[in-house]
Amino acid sequence: MSTLTTTLPPAGIQITTDSATEPFWQAAKENRLVAPKCADCGTFRLPPSPFCPTCQSQNVDWVTLSGRATVYSFSIVQGLPGQPELTLAAVVVDLPDAPGARLVSNVVDADPGAVEIGTPLTVDFIEIADGWKLPVFRVAAVTVAVAVAGAGE
Partner 1 sequence: MSASGPFDTAIVGVGATPYYRRGGSAPQTITELAGKAIIAACEDAGLSVRDIDGFAYYSGAGAGYGQSMDTATFMETLGIPEVTFSAALTSGGGGSAGSIGLARAAILAGDATVVVTVMALQQVKQRLGTVFGSVAPSPENSFLQPSGLVGPGHLMSVLARRHMHNYGTRREAFAEIALSSRENALTRPKAIMRTPLTLDDYFNARMIADPLCLFDFCLETEGAVAVITTSAQRAKDLRRTPVGVVAAAHGGVREWGRAFAWYGMPDEYFASSGHAPIARRLYDRAGITPDDIDVALIYDHFTPMVLMQLEDYGFCKKGEGGPFVESGAIRYKGGSIPVNTHGGQLSEAYIIGMTHIVEGVEQLRGTAVNQVPDAKLALVTGGPATLPVSGLILGRTA
96 or 144, CB closer to partner 1? Answer: 96
Distance in Å, CB of 42 to partner 1, minimum: 17
Q: How many residues bind partner 1 (CB under 8 A)?
A: 39
Binding mask 75-114 for partner 1 (x = CB under 8 A): xxxx-xx----x-x-xxx-------xxxxxxx-----x--
Query: What is the Cα 148 distance to its own chain's centre?
Result: 16
The answer to whether 136 and 7 are in contact (CB under 8 A) is: yes
Q: Does 15 bind partner 1 (CB under 8 A)?
A: yes
Looking at 47, 56, 59, 114, which residue binds partner 1 (CB under 8 A)?
A: 47
Listed in order, strand segments (DSSP E) in 43-101 are 60-64, 68-80, 83-94
Output 14 or 143, the one with its CB closest to partner 1.
14
Smallest distance from the beta carbon of 75 to partner 1, in angstroms? 4
Query: Using the rule CB under 8 A, is 20 a contact of partner 1?
Result: yes
Distance CA 108, CA 34 (A): 20
Q: What's the min distance (Å) between Cβ of 147 and partner 1?
A: 27
- What gap in Å lies between CA 98 and CA 33, rounded to an integer? 11
Residue 134's H or E segment, with its range, is strand 133-139
Non-local CB neighbours of 15 within 8 Å, separated by 6+ positions: 25, 128, 129, 130, 132, 134
4 near partner 1, judged by CB under 8 A: no
Alpha helices for the chain (secondary structure H): 22-29, 142-152
- Residues lying near partner 1 in the complex (CB under 8 A): 7-8, 13-18, 20-21, 25, 46-47, 53, 72-78, 80-81, 86, 88, 90-92, 100-106, 112, 117, 128, 134
